[in-house]
């Protein structure tokens, strides 16, 4: 055991303020793990929410674990030191419950490495009464946990504020009754929103395609996702503050959850529907609490500018002599008051997401944004004195044509000229990412664009903007995007691939691991799914009707607009 590694964690804890240090005596330990660095994990509001919910119970001591950097991991192995908690520097394998918050597919490799470093058997089938229960929650557990099914004991499907308490209550009752591991998992599987993969066996056709799920015990055939009806009942704000995060100077607080815009590419828009807002009064009280820790609040939500009382909220924040920042904006709901508040808070970049260069492509994806609306948002930024603009763009979208790529160039030049015409001399940044079809979206049936085609488009854009002054192009790695795409729509067979890849060094071992398991990436990436094809993730039920998703896929091809959610809407199935 390394004293130096323990001291590093103590130093991290000493630099934190906020949620008081609790006493572990009389409490049952629980590990809350984020499969990435401390910097990334502590920037995730969901981690704060669950940490607070669990530690305020009184019977559970929730401690945090993060993936150390490569040098520190090497030191763990050299000194034979297991992965340790931030709070008390206890080894991961000594915690009876280990809950991972999983937000991104590329963190699957990190999750396995953390289990291995924590001396927890990787495979759920290899664990018995001596070992912890391994839980995953978060977006990846909600839309497709199958690639991780071999490694986890149970998945929390949906939003966790309520179900985490039911899970812990059931766990403690089962422990008092001396239930076996299997008996305990059966009891947990009876809870709404809990998926226990070991009780479900995927079935494959003669063509080696997923064809259904066989239940191996008395468990629900479909797992309904959990969602919070009244957000005001559950606080969603940062509880621990440190300089070592993406938002070091901010008090993060959730304004709204879910989105009803029906963008056809967006998994979050379907898996976290329906859209809900926190009341202005509750947010005002959160801003008062924020003043105890920070002088700026970070507003979190799918589209902050869609919040119906955004101007009133901005005014309240400014009257408290505080600044603000936002997680996301929509050009068509942006207000001068919000832009002015951002400028006064020190913002020098306004970020917008047209997602596509042409209006035709924006009709395909149901973005509902025309060019003039986007340009008006640019004008607001320039008028307020915000000098820089950032645009999020996807390439390789369904129905994309050569002229749509050219439209990205034209749009960027139009925006840049608009900035100059308003007297602005700031930078225009284009953040370009390959489109990845996601489960439970209308594009779940769609093939992904060929990797070589997307790479060629990226090179073309780089060539087009190379000589253009004041336009910066940022591009996500196509190689990693295509690994992510396989994992997003993958099945349980990918568990063996992940295990082999991690043993071979992580993502760099992916290609050889796929070959070793006899799987073809092209079968996951480039194949069109038929209307009646079964998907491995459909053991989960997010509330959106499959027929509705297929209808939206057809409407995408016809470039038809689907209006946003409203109070009397019963189209998609969530509000039934």
**The pLDDT of residue 465:** 95
Provide the 10 A C-beta neighbour count for residue 472: 13
Phi, psi of 50 (to 5 degrees): -70, -40
pLDDT at site 338? 95
pLDDT of residue 421: 87
> Reduced to 3 DSSP states, what percent helix, strand and coil does the chain have, rounded to the nearest 5?
45, 15, 40
Element (H, E) at 428: strand 428-434
Peptide bond connecting 274 to the previous residue in cis, omega within 30 degrees of 0: yes
pLDDT of residue 467: 87
What is the spatial distance between Cα 351 and Cα 310, in angstroms, rounded to a whole number?
17
SS3 of residue 210 by DSSP = strand
- Residue 572 has phi, psi (to 5 degrees) of -90, -20
CA 483 to chain centre: 16
Cα distance between residue 303 and residue 259, in whole Å: 7
* 340 closest CA partner among 389, 388, 384, 296: 384
Map tokens 């422990």 to a residue.
175
Cα separation of 399 and 3, whole Å?
A: 57
Token pair for 72: 């520190």
Q: Which residues of the chain have pLDDT under 50?
A: none
Please, are residues 466 and 430 in contact by the beta-carbon 8 Å criterion?
no
Query: Helices 181-189 and 160-176 meet at what angle, rounded to 10?
Result: 150
Cα 365 to Cα 89, 262, 391: the distances in Å are: 47, 9, 16
Cα 442 from Cα 435, distance rounded (Å): 13
What per-residue confidence (pLDDT) applies to 575? 86
Q: Residue for token digits 């009803």?
A: 260
Angle between helices 310-319 and 336-344 (to 10 degrees): 30
**Long-range own/partner contacts, residues 131-134 (CB < 8 A, 24 or more apart):** 131/93, 132/31, 132/92, 132/93, 132/95, 132/96, 132/97, 132/98, 133/96, 133/97, 133/98, 133/171, 133/181, 133/184, 133/185, 134/98, 134/100
Predicted confidence (pLDDT) per residue in 511-566, tens digit: 999 999 999 999 999 999 999 999 999 999 999 999 999 999 999 999 999 999 87
The confidence score (pLDDT) of residue 23 equals 64
d(CA 148, CA 85): 23
Say how far apart CA 116 and CA 237 lie, in whole Å. 32
How many residues does the structure list for the chain?
576
List alpha helices for 299-390, DSSP H. Answer: 310-319, 336-344, 359-364, 371-384
Q: What's the pLDDT at 451?
A: 97
| 3 CB neighbour count, 10 Å cutoff | 9
């Amino acid at each position: 055991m390394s004293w130096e590694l323990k001291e590093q964690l103590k130093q991290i804890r000493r630099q934190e303020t906020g949620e008081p240090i609790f006493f572990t005596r009389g409490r049952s330990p629980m590990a809350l793990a984020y499969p990435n660095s401390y910097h990334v994990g502590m920037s995730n509001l969901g981690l704060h929410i669950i940490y607070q919910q669990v530690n305020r119970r009184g019977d559970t001591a929730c401690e945090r674990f993060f993936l150390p950097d490569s040098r520190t991991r090497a030191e763990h192995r050299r000194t034979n030191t297991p992965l340790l908690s931030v709070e008390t520097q206890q080894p991961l394998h000594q915690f009876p419950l280990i809950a991972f918050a999983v937000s991104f597919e590329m963190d699957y490799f990190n999750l396995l490495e953390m289990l291995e470093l924590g001396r927890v058997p990787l495979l759920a089938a290899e664990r018995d009464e001596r070992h912890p229960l391994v839980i995953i929650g978060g977006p990846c557990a909600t839309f497709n946990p199958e690639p991780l099914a071999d490694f986890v004991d149970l998945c929390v499907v949906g939003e966790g504020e309520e179900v985490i308490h039911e899970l812990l209550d059931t766990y403690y009752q089962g422990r008092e009754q001396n239930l076996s591991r299997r008996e305990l998992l059966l009891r947990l599987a009876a809870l709404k929103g809990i998926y226990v993969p070991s009780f479900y066996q995927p079935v494959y056709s003669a063509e080696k395609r997923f064809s259904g799920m066989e239940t191996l015990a008395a468990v629900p055939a479909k797992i309904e996702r959990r969602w919070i009806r009244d957000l005001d009942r559950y606080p969603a704000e940062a509880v621990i503050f440190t300089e070592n995060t993406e938002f070091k100077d901010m008090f993060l607080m959730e304004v709204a959850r879910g989105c009803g815009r029906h963008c056809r590419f967006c998994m979050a828009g379907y898996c976290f529907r329906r859209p809900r807002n926190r009341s202005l009064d509750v947010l005002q009280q959160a801003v008062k609490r924020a003043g105890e820790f920070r002088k700026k609040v970070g507003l979190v939500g799918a589209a902050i500018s869609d919040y119906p009382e955004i101007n009133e909220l901005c005014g309240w924040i400014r009257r408290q002599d505080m600044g603000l920042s936002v997680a996301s904006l929509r050009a068509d709901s942006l207000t001068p008051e919000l832009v002015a508040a951002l400028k006064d808070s020190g913002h020098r970049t306004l970020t917008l997401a047209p997602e596509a260069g042409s209006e035709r492509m924006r009709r395909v994806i149901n973005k509902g944004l025309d060019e003039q609306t986007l340009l008006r948002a640019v004008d607001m930024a320039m008028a307020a004195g915000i000098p820089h603009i950032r645009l999020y763009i996807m390439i390789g979208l369904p129905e994309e044509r050569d002229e749509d790529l050219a439209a990205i160039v034209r749009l960027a030049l139009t925006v840049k000229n608009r900035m100059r015409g308003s007297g602005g001399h700031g930078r225009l940044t284009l953040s370009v990412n390959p489109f990845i079809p996601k489960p439970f979206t209308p594009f779940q049936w769609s093939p992904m664009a060929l990797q070589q085609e997307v790479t060629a488009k990226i090179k073309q854009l780089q060539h087009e903007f190379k000589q253009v002054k004041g336009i910066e192009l940022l591009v996500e790695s196509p190689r990693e995007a295509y690994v992510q795409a396989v994992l997003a729509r993958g099945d349980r067979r990918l568990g063996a691939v992940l295990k082999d890849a991690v043993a071979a060094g992580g993502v760099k071992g992916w290609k050889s691991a796929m070959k070793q398991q006899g799987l073809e990436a092209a079968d996951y990436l480039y194949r069109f799914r038929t209307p009646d094809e079964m998907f491995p993730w459909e053991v989960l039920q997010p509330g959106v009707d499959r027929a509705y998703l297929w209808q939206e896929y057809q409407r995408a091809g016809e470039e038809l607009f689907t209006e946003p959610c409203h109070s009397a809407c019963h189209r998609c199935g969530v509000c039934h």
